[in-house]
Amino acid sequence: MLFRNKCSFSLIKEFRKPQVNRFLLLVDSLILPEALFLVDNIFISF
């Protein structure tokens, strides 16, 4: 689980370039934790 979180954090750093809008960063910060939570639940259920 920790390895996947590190990968996702590195992806977040890749996507958080200066040209990205502040609104998109806000949406990402709201959506990504939910997506990670859902993915973790799916893996736990399997």
20 SS3 class: coil
pLDDT mean across residues, the chain:
71
Q: How far is CA 30 from CA 12, 13, 26, 45, in A?
A: 12, 15, 6, 24
Of residues 3, 5, 44, the one with CA closest to residue 32:
5
Contact 5, 36 (CB under 8 A): yes
For a pLDDT cut of 90, what percent of the chain falls above it?
0
Share of the chain above pLDDT 70, in %: 48
CA distance 2 to 8: 10
Q: pLDDT (tens digit, 9 = 90+) per residue, 17-38?
A: 655 567 677 777 788 788 888 8
pLDDT at residue 5, as a whole number: 66
